Chain A
Amino acid sequence: MSGMAEIAPAAPETPLQRFVRDFTSNRLAVGALVVVLLIALAAIFAPWITPQNPYDLAQLDIMDGRLPPGASSAAGMTYWLGTDDQGRDMLSGIIYGLRISLIVGIGSALIAGVVGSTLGLVAAYAGGRVETAIMRLVDLQLSFPAILVALMILAFLGKGIGNVMIALVLVEWARYARTARGAALVERRREYIEAAECLALPRWRVLFRHLLPNCLPPLIVIGTIQIARAITLEATLSFLGLGVPITEPSLGLLIANGYQYMLSGQYWISFYPGLALLLTIMAINLVGDQLRDVLNPRQQR
């Protein structure tokens, strides 16, 4: 009986509380979230926390090129993670590189998310030929590997950070469209849509006020994982020399720059940016996995 007495007075959980409780049930995911937040903060406040502005060539001293981790500059600054061939402090370079990686990753994921889910919702709601056309395009897009589509687009557009983002958006939109349509088809059958339609609300209102909010959970899950994918792909393209310009290196380019020196044992120029990239991707993926477990009630925990 005492057990009953203990349970009774507990206040009913709000959905948010439930979400927080479910999410925090996995310690690894919480740790990953902390890492993601720290990385994001470091990227946002890069100009204030880095010892050096790695893009300002005036601050670089070529004489300090390829110093090992822990070495000091002539001016007395310590290069904790060493320097690259241009005398750039690796720590500063990595934090600024993270900034670019995150901007490109999150930016393209957001744009692709908006474009893709709008198309997906339209497909689900319009049906008929519109749906067939959109979904055919999705199928075609998804049947080609991301790297090939990105290569094709960069072959058309040329290199550069803007073009990389366009490529990423074109690579990613299809997955959102498919997810949004799938979720919308399920939600559509629910009665509140019928109710809303009975009230003779305009179609677009039904679409965005009612359908979208209920399709959001799966889209958020996909979005998180797509950010990680976008960051990986950007890094890959930059590594291949097709991405960001050499004056503003992202993580991928930093790694590429260090590659030639790695064979002669100067590992740090490639290794530390790689570690940062890895940490970012793994942390985002772990958060995404946990979000999927929490937000998707169909999947067993």
Chain B
Amino acid sequence: MTAWLLRRLVQAAFVVLAMTVILFIGLHVIGNPIDILISPEADQADRARAIAALGLDQPLWRQYALFLWGMLHGDLGRSFVFHEPALQLIGERLPATLELAVSAVLLAIVIGIPLGLYAGLYPNSLLGRSAMAGSILGFSLPTFWVGLMLIMLFAVRLGWLPSTGRGQTALLFGIRWSFLTRDGLAHLAMPAFNLALGNIALVLRLVRSGVRETLPLDYVRFARAKGLRPARVVGVHVMKNIMIPVVTVLGLEFGGTIAFSVVTESIFAWPGMGKLIIDSINVLDRPVIVAYLMIIVLMFVAINLVVDLLYTFLDPRVRLEDRG
């Protein structure tokens, strides 16, 4: 188990290292930050000073070495635009994004599992069929379009929910959160639902097909033959088996959810790091882009690791096998 974990950690480190190279080379070989950051009217001396100040006059390998060295110390450079450490910029916006993404995953669980269960138990019922049809929409509708429609309906037409921003926040662990206030929750509702849509569809389908596959299995029939109540048969015998793929897939999707919050944050003006990255790409604020992508990659790698561990924990057949 320890050996397995160690190997996975080394693997993860390699992926992260590879990403630093890809990011760095990609940005330097193809983009040219000098042209964008320095005003064309600046004279030669101004130019040179700016280049030196940004470290852009160094050879590439040195810039990379510096970058890597800095990263190990938690320094990913300063934003060309905000003149603030990139990591700090992202760190300030990370909680908002995490709040949004976690809410979306929770919504997917709270809505997707019961609906999927129902659709699996009663596949021919009206609700079961509509849920399935709806899940196809959930997969294929463009997220941003759904977001716009939500705003049009709930904010403009009905006026029930606020359309943009985080609303009132409250402090917890020194960080501001929206979910702690009523107003914040109202602001969180639409973007979270918007971001959750794809995951709801995914969970719904996973649970439904899991139920359909599990119900006719011998061990479920045996559970019934033991005289257990239906709630126990479905809630324990069926669900325990389905939760393994659901947790695994949701875990793996969490990274994607964070990445996709870029779209949702732009629509609902949610001040997370997704909105920051779009603005940064538009002005080619290189350190911020690199920092964002690095953080995302680190998150992905970490999430994969955690999901792997979780999977091991959930499935006894894997858990007890020697994974060394």
Chain A residues near B (Cβ < 8 Å) = 140, 143-145, 147-148, 151-159, 228, 232, 235-236, 239-242, 252, 255, 259, 262-263, 265, 267, 270-271, 274, 277-278, 281-282, 285
CA distance A151 to B145 in the complex (A): 19
- Contact in complex: A145, B255 (CB < 8 Å): yes
- Contact in complex: B142, A236 (CB < 8 Å): yes
In the bound complex, residues from chain B placing their C-beta under 8 Å from that of A232 are 140, 142
Q: Which of the residues A145, A155, A240, A263 comes within 8 Å of B156, measured between beta carbons?
A: A263
- Contact in complex: A152, B142 (CB < 8 Å): no
In the bound complex, residues from chain A placing their C-beta under 8 Å from that of B304 are 143
A271 shortest CB reach to chain B, Å:
7
Q: Which of B45-53, B66-74, B260-268, B311-319 contacts A (4 or more CB under 8 A)?
A: B260-268
Top 4 nearest A-B pairs (CB, nearest first) are A145-B256, A148-B259, A156-B26, A156-B30
- Contact in complex: B151, A263 (CB < 8 Å): yes
B71 shortest CB reach to chain A, Å:
17
Residue of A nearest to B25 (CB): A156
User: Are A265 and B27 CB-contacts (below 8 A) given A240-B266, A270-B148?
Assistant: no
In the bound complex, residues from chain A placing their C-beta under 8 Å from that of B151 are 262-263
- Contact in complex: A156, B262 (CB < 8 Å): no
B interface, over-half SS = helix
- Name B235-275 residues within 8 Å CB distance of A: 252, 255-256, 259-260, 262-263, 266-267
B306 in the interface (beta carbon within 8 A): no
CA distance A151 to B265 in the complex (A): 15
- Name B117-143 residues within 8 Å CB distance of A: 136, 140-143
- Contact in complex: B155, A263 (CB < 8 Å): yes
Residue of B nearest to A239 (CB): B144
Digitize B17-36: 1 where CB-to-A-CB distance is under 8 Å, 0 elsewhere. 00000010011001100000
Instruction: Show 13 A/B contacts (Cβ-Cβ < 8 Å), sorted by A.
Output: A145-B259, A152-B293, A158-B31, A158-B284, A236-B144, A239-B266, A255-B148, A259-B267, A262-B152, A263-B155, A267-B156, A278-B145, A281-B142
- Contact in complex: A241, B282 (CB < 8 Å): yes
B296 in the interface (beta carbon within 8 A): yes
Residue of B nearest to A154 (CB): B281
- Contact in complex: A235, B142 (CB < 8 Å): yes
Residue of B nearest to A258 (CB): B148
User: Are A242 and B278 CB-contacts (below 8 A) given A152-B293, A235-B142?
Assistant: yes
Chain B residues near A (Cβ < 8 Å) = 15, 23, 26-27, 30-31, 136, 140-145, 148-149, 151-152, 155-156, 163, 252, 255-256, 259-260, 262-263, 266-267, 277-278, 281-282, 284, 289, 293, 296, 300, 304
In the bound complex, residues from chain B placing their C-beta under 8 Å from that of A281 are 140-142
User: Are A285 and B140 CB-contacts (below 8 A) given A158-B31, A277-B145?
Assistant: yes
- Extra inter-chain contacts (17) besides given A240-B262, A285-B140, CB under 8 Å: A143-B300, A145-B255, A152-B26, A228-B140, A235-B142, A241-B282, A259-B148, A262-B148, A262-B152, A265-B156, A267-B152, A267-B156, A270-B148, A274-B145, A278-B142, A281-B142, A282-B140
- Contact in complex: B142, A240 (CB < 8 Å): no
Residue of A nearest to B32 (CB): A158
A266 shortest CB reach to chain B, Å:
10
User: Are A145 and B262 CB-contacts (below 8 A) given A151-B281, A278-B145?
Assistant: no
CA distance A45 to B304 in the complex (A): 48
Residue of B nearest to A231 (CB): B142
Residue of A nearest to B253 (CB): A145
In the bound complex, residues from chain A placing their C-beta under 8 Å from that of B255 are 144-145
- Contact in complex: B31, A156 (CB < 8 Å): yes
CA distance A285 to B140 in the complex (A): 8
Residue of B nearest to A281 (CB): B140
In the bound complex, residues from chain A placing their C-beta under 8 Å from that of B26 are 152-153, 155-156
B150 shortest CB reach to chain A, Å:
11
Residue of B nearest to A262 (CB): B152
CA distance A277 to B149 in the complex (A): 13
User: Are A241 and B144 CB-contacts (below 8 A) given A156-B31, A158-B31?
Assistant: no
CA distance A155 to B151 in the complex (A): 29
In the bound complex, residues from chain B placing their C-beta under 8 Å from that of A236 are 142-144, 263
Residue of B nearest to A232 (CB): B142
In the bound complex, residues from chain B placing their C-beta under 8 Å from that of A157 are 30-31
CA distance A145 to B296 in the complex (A): 11
Q: Which of the residues A151, A241, A267 comes within 8 Å of B277, measured between beta carbons?
A: A151
CA distance A267 to B156 in the complex (A): 10
- Contact in complex: A241, B278 (CB < 8 Å): yes
CA distance A147 to B15 in the complex (A): 19
B184 shortest CB reach to chain A, Å:
20
CA distance A232 to B143 in the complex (A): 9
A8 shortest CB reach to chain B, Å:
38
CA distance A156 to B27 in the complex (A): 5
A91 shortest CB reach to chain B, Å:
19
In the bound complex, residues from chain B placing their C-beta under 8 Å from that of A267 are 152, 156
Q: Which of the residues A147, A154, A159, A271 comes within 8 Å of B259, measured between beta carbons?
A: A147
CA distance A143 to B143 in the complex (A): 20
Q: Which of the residues A155, A262, A271 comes within 8 Å of B27, measured between beta carbons?
A: A155
